[in-house]
Structure 1
């Protein structure tokens, strides 16, 4: 078959190598439309048309509108905290780790896509979305594992609760500040306040749980 004889792709249908970019484009388009029309008011057809696809082509990437929303939650929701855990230097001391982890989470949650995603989850009653739960559970498990190691090594206090308690105590106030100030309709002032509260909490938490070393991990 010559180049001229090869079947042409239909309009808007990406090559297989572009599948990842197409999925990302669909998530972005869905978030824009959800913001304009709400989750219930946005159709699969509208999402497909937003990126120049047919409905059938969209279904090659996502089985349902709910699946698109769940993908957005995985990219911009609490699963960001799991990625932040993986990217924070493992050799860092507890206080340094807590500060660096929080900074990565705050930065990732203050992007347009992330703010849009959490705003929609709250507004449209999707706060118990499977993607959100998966991200929260994964982040808490990861943090608990880190705290368990530090307790065993004597690097943080062992009288404040279980590793799971400590993980929740670190992440919950940060997530609450996000809900209040890093949503799609947040003003620049609200975003700044939220970021300051997240950072201040991480600093307080680091000082509260860290065992004072002889040299200084703080």
Structure 2
């Protein structure tokens, strides 16, 4: 009985996910130890015990591996978890904003994201460096500008400040507890201190940015429906 041929280097479905995770972990270890520029695809393969052909079955190259780490732990992590802009905008900001921050902060707290933070501060977005990091931040501001503009149009958020600036004012301060506390060997006390800073900031932002009466009415309508 003939068996179907498999493309060289592409792992079977049963172990493909595990191989990809090994590659990401091995790459992260090397990026953290010696930097993006000094790390090669061959070194990543050796560290993960994966052949070169198998690596290219998962990633186009070193930058693609870095991109996967960056997407899950980048400046605002707009890509992971993916943000459903329309669903976000349909929820009153008093509910949507804390939920969004919580999702992103939870992602930043994962072991891989905490380890990658040091790499990102050193190497930016990889080959593009700091400029690529800046471009990613601006792309996230553009993505999140849309629900903020809709909340402004509905009279739920103050409209005297541009939406992109409100996005910046929400997320930029979150980098402080992240950099101060979310290191690789974080302790529970560090996580608790960081989370308090996050919660205090979100509460302050909502107090400064919401239009109280309209937001209260919108929240009540959402609960009633």
TM-score, normalised via structure 2 length: 0.77
Computed over aligned residues only, the root mean square deviation of the Cα atoms, in angstroms, reads 3.2
Which residue matches 1:69? Answer: 66
Query: Moved runs in structure 1, 4+ residues, more than 6 A?
Result: 6-10
Distance in 2, Cα, partners of 1:64 & 1:103: 32
Give the corresponding residue for 1:125: 123
Which is helix-richer, 1 or 2?
A: 2
Corresponding residue number in structure 2 for 1:144: 145
Q: Does 1:35 align with 2:36?
A: no
Q: 1:130 to 1:51 in 2, by over 3 A?
A: farther
Judge conservation of contact 2:11–2:54 (CA < 8 Å) in 1. Answer: no
Q: Structure 1 residues 22, 133: CA separation in 2 closer, same or farther (over 3 Å shift)?
A: farther
CA–CA distance in 2 between the matches of 1:197 and 1:67?
A: 33
Q: Secondary structure at the match of 2:107?
A: helix
Count of paired positions: 213
1:50 counterpart (47, 52, 65): 47
Please tell me whether the aligned partners of residues 157 and 211 of structure 1 are also in contact (alpha carbons under 8 angstroms).
yes
Say if 1:22 and 1:154 are closer, same or farther in 2 by CA, change over 3 A. Answer: same
CA change 1:56–1:37 in 2 (3 A) is same
- Measure, in 1, the Cα distance between the counterparts of 2:35 and 2:214: 55
- Which piece of structure 1 moves more, 203-212 or 74-83? 74-83
Matches of 1:90 and 1:151 in 2, distance apart? 10
Distance in 2 separating the partners of 1:15 and 1:186:
36
**CA–CA separation in structure 2 for the residues paired with 1:76 and 1:209:** 27
Q: Per the alignment, do residues 95 and 8 of structure 1 end up closer, same or farther by CA in structure 2, a change over 3 Å counting?
A: closer
Q: Which residue of 2 aligns with 1:97?
A: 96
Q: 1:54 and 1:169 mapped to 2: Cα distance?
A: 45
Q: Tell me: CA distance 1:130–1:176, structure 2 relative to 1, closer, same or farther (3 Å).
A: same
For 1:167-186, what aligned pairs fall within 5 Å after superposition? Answer: 167-186=167-186
Secondary structure of the residue aligned to 2:208 is: helix
Question: Residues of 2 paired with 1:191 and 1:108: CA distance?
Answer: 13
**CA displacement at 1:168 relative to structure 2:** 0.8
Q: TM-score scaled by structure 1?
A: 0.79
Distance 2:196 2:83 in 1: 20
